[in-house]
Structure 1
Amino acid sequence: MNPQDPLTQLKDIHLPETGGWWPPAPGWWLLAALCLIALIALAVAWKRHRARTLWKRQAKAELATLGQQIRNEPSWYGDLNRLLKRVARQTHEHRHPESMTGDQWVEFLLDTLPKDRIASRPTAEAMVAAAWQPKPAIDPRNALTFATFWLEAQL
């Protein structure tokens, strides 16, 4: 080796350093923005859905509470009828169920049942009448079963 030889001083080819991971390329910024927009849109849609279905969750919770506090008293039947009317107002607002009483309310309940309308008539009539009778003639468990069946048909 000759120290004077300029070829011996040459080094191997070196590739330039990569740009690193930061800052990302414009395509990654666009993808991140689209993901963020999609996440925000999903959160807003989920929040709206929860707000629209709040009454359903509240109705189910109130029915469960009434099921735990079964009493053969007119006030319990009144609470049960009020719950059904609130649900009916949400699901059939064009028929104005909140103003129905007595036979008209019974007919509405039976009309909005999907099946077993004839078999459910005595239970519905007794449940509606029990709210005004000092000694209700219906077993509260039967009324609760009818109310559960009707409520699940509406939800």
Structure 2
Amino acid sequence: MSANLPLRDVQLPPAPSWWPPAPGYLMIGGAVLLALLVAAFFWWQRRRRRQRWLQLFDQELATVTDPTAELAAIAGLLRRAARQAQPGSESLRDDQWWQRVDPQGTLAASRRSLLAEGAYRPHVDAREVAAVRSWARERYLALLLERRR
């Protein structure tokens, strides 16, 4: 070696670029994106199914104008949903029926008597019918969701 050669310090290579990421990161990102798409699809399907059930409930009651007939239609819809959730529950009567439809007892006894089978209702307050309808809509959806579990 010649003494005339200049000494040079060690030079590091340039820093690697952050883009494009390594293939492993791309695969992880793709898997996460795919999982999010699958979760969004199932969420959308569930939401659509719920909306369809509630539309059917509302359509069934939209044809009824008489409050007494509306209460009978609500009771029929609840029976149908209970039968779909647990076959054989349509034959239940009185307390057994209410244990199936309203296990937590969220409906008041006065409103519960409005839905009783064969009950005589000469004059029904429209606000009471609206409250029963609102409660029945929620329970109808809950009963149909029980079927899916």
Unpaired segments ≥5 residues, structure 2: 143-149
Unpaired segments ≥5 residues, structure 1: 67-73, 98-103, 131-135
Q: Aligned partner of 1:24: which letter?
A: P
CA distance in 1, matches of 2:95, 2:124: 18
CA distance in 2, matches of 1:126, 1:86: 13
Higher relative contact order (CA 8 A, sep 6+): 2
- Identity in percent: 21
Alignment size in residue pairs: 132
Q: Pick one of 25, 32, 52 that aligns with 1:35.
A: 32
Q: Are 1:75 and 2:101 counterparts?
A: no
Question: Deviation at 1:15?
Answer: 0.9
- 1:1-150 to 2 correspondences below 5 Å: 6-8=4-6, 10-55=7-52, 57-58=54-55, 62=58, 75-77=65-67, 78-79=69-70, 81-82=72-73, 85-86=76-77, 88-93=79-84, 94=87, 110=98, 112-114=101-103, 115=105, 119-120=110-111, 122-125=113-116, 136-150=122-136
- State the structure with more CA Rg: 1
TM-score by length of 1: 0.55
CA distance in 2, matches of 1:124, 1:23: 66
The residue number in structure 1 matching 2:145 is none
Question: Deviation at 1:120?
Answer: 4.5
